[in-house]
Amino acid sequence: MNALCLFGSLRSPPNHAVLLNALRMAAVSQCGLTILIDAYTRTLDRSYLDVLGFKSKLREHLQQDTESYISSTYDQLLTLIEEEELDVTVSVECLLEPSWERRLTDVLNVSGSNWLLLDYSKPAERHPIFSKLAKLPVSILLMRDQRWKTKPVLLAAVDPLHRHDRPATMDQSIVRIADVLSVRFTTSYKIVHCCHITPYLVKYAKQIMAIHSDALREFRAKNKLDGVSLALIPGNPEQHLPDVARKARCDILVMGGFCRSSMSNFWLGSTTEAVVQAMPCDILLVKPD
């Protein structure tokens, strides 16, 4: 891997915290950082603009805006690199044509990265890329407006009983990535698992929790993760996983982001999407091997 790619939109460009965290991730990964910004506007497709003679002027103004953004972003990046004493080579590119998907694929292929950093600081202003994530051959780090700690707090959410038609290797991929991050940032991580018991099985709650606890410990032993702490959380992940992350002051949650069920036409399963929307921290959505 020679570079990480951070993708965002000129309509709501990556803010200070996102840029800093992206630089830190590139630094600990010992690679460069490519920032790809979609600056295309559908207004340029309006046919009446040609008749009125406005299209060329609008394109000229947009070009000026992108040049100004690139210049100011470079200045901000160089300042952060100097202040944080980071060794990172950066590049910034704005896309003025509606071909962001093709260009992003090219950048990922050239960089050799299996991660994509995605600006998620304004979830309400989702870019069309969110409907395409399942087609990308990479894991996705959703980055919010939150500066990571010097030693980021990491959580790895697993499901050792493989519910929701998850690939059997998903949990191994999750802990492998969490382990890589913990080494790069010289920190530790905790494995968490939510056990939701439906009302008609409440009378068997103790036995069900014991089954999940045994499965969690067996998963840790099988993957030789003896030094990693475990947390079994009673309740559904949509409600309780965000609470756990909040109490732990989590910086990055590593979890499975893609499923092989009837929901596979979407970028996330319904449970994962609910967790993403409620989570107070950055989320690394792992692509199955």
Mean pLDDT per 10-residue segment, the chain (289 residues): 91 92 98 93 58 65 85 95 97 88 91 92 81 84 96 96 68 95 98 88 87 94 94 91 96 80 46 82 89
pLDDT at 204: 79
Return the CATH superfamily for domain 3-143: HUPs (3.40.50.620)
Most distant pair of Cα atoms in the chain: their distance: 73
pLDDT at 207: 93
Do 154-286 and 3-143 fall under one CATH topology? yes
Q: Distance (Å, rounded) from C-alpha 173 to C-alpha 54?
A: 51
Place of tokens 């692509």: 287
Read off the pTM.
0.89
**Contact in structure between 35 and 92 (CB atoms under 8 Å):** yes
pLDDT at 262: 37
Enter the CATH code of domain 154-286.
3.40.50.620
The two beta strands, 229-234 and 90-95, are unpaired
pLDDT at 231: 96
User: Phi, psi at residue 192, to the nearest 5°?
Assistant: -125, 150
pLDDT at 126: 77
Q: Where are the domains of the chain?
A: 3-143, 154-286
Strand order in the sheet with 252-256: 90-95, 32-38, 3-9, 115-119, 139-143, 282-286, 252-256, 154-157, 189-195, 229-234
